[in-house]
């Protein structure tokens, strides 16, 4: 799996358009959030926990991002778009990565762990798209060209107030490409994300 350790620094909430569907029940959301907190504790204690999906739905191979906040401030975010593992395992692995492997932040400490808030973004499958079909707030965007690849989650454009062109340009920039690469042969793919977290569930 290829991690993409970068997310919006803004807290996702279900008041924005990309939360239009609730594929995951409150019980499933709760299970995934509980798993994330258990993984953080196990990681800090250098122990292992079973990662057997509790249902067929959570056993599906799906991409996901885990974002961690410490008293409202971003302190870690890691995600997988392409995954050969179950969603349940993907949430576990991205949570571990967000806690100790995001190079932009210091690893989470045992003292910080009780105050951490978790937000999960569960991704749909990638679909090719034409530039004019991209919907701000609904679509996340993956731009790729050769070995270059950049991704932005659906909430990023909505929360920054970007229009479609700016979203395309910023995703190209994220990929390390010229801003107009989307007009010069770069591949465009979109996905949607169901976003939920501790505050939303509680």
**In this predicted structure, what is the pLDDT of residue 199?**
76
- The CATH code for residues 127-191 is 3.30.1490.150
Q: Distances from the Cα of 28 to the Cαs of 33, 70, 166, 168, 202, in angstroms? A: 9, 24, 35, 33, 14
SS3 172: helix
Q: What is the pTM of this model?
A: 0.77
Helix (H) or strand (E) holding 193: strand 193-197
Per residue in 122-151, pLDDT (tens digit) is: 999 899 999 999 999 999 999 999 999 999
* Domains of the chain by residue range: 17-124+194-201, 127-191
Residues recorded for the chain: 202
Q: What is the pLDDT of residues 144-196, one digit of tens each?
A: 999 999 999 888 999 899 999 999 999 999 999 999 999 999 999 999 999 99
Q: Residue 1 has what pLDDT?
A: 42
Flag whether pLDDT at 29 surpasses 60: yes
For domain 17-124+194-201, the question of CATH label 3.40.50.970 is answered with: no
pLDDT in tens, 55-103: 999 999 999 999 999 999 999 999 988 888 999 999 999 999 999 999 9
């Amino acid at each position: 799996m290829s991690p993409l350790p970068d997310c919006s620094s803004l807290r996702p909430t279900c008041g924005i358009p990309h939360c239009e569907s609730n594929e995951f029940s409150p019980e499933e959301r709760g299970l995934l959030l509980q798993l994330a907190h258990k993984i953080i504790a196990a990681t800090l204690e250098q122990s292992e926990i079973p990662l057997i999906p509790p249902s067929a739905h959570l056993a599906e191979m799906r991409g996901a991002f885990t974002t961690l906040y410490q008293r409202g401030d971003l302190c870690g975010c890691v995600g997988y778009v392409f995954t050969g593992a179950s969603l349940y395992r993907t949430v576990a692995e991205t949570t571990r990565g967000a806690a100790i492997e995001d190079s932009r932040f210091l690893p989470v400490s045992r003292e910080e762990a009780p105050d951490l808030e978790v937000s999960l973004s569960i991704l749909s499958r990638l679909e090719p798209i034409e530039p004019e079909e991209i919907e701000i707030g609904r679509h996340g965007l993956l731009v790729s060209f050769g070995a270059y690849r950049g991704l932005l989650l659906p909430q990023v454009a909505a929360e920054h107030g970007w229009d479609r062109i700016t979203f395309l340009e910023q995703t190209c920039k994220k990929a390390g490409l010229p801003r107009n690469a989307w007009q010069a042969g770069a591949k465009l793919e979109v996905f949607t994300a169901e976003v939920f977290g501790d505050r939303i569930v509680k």
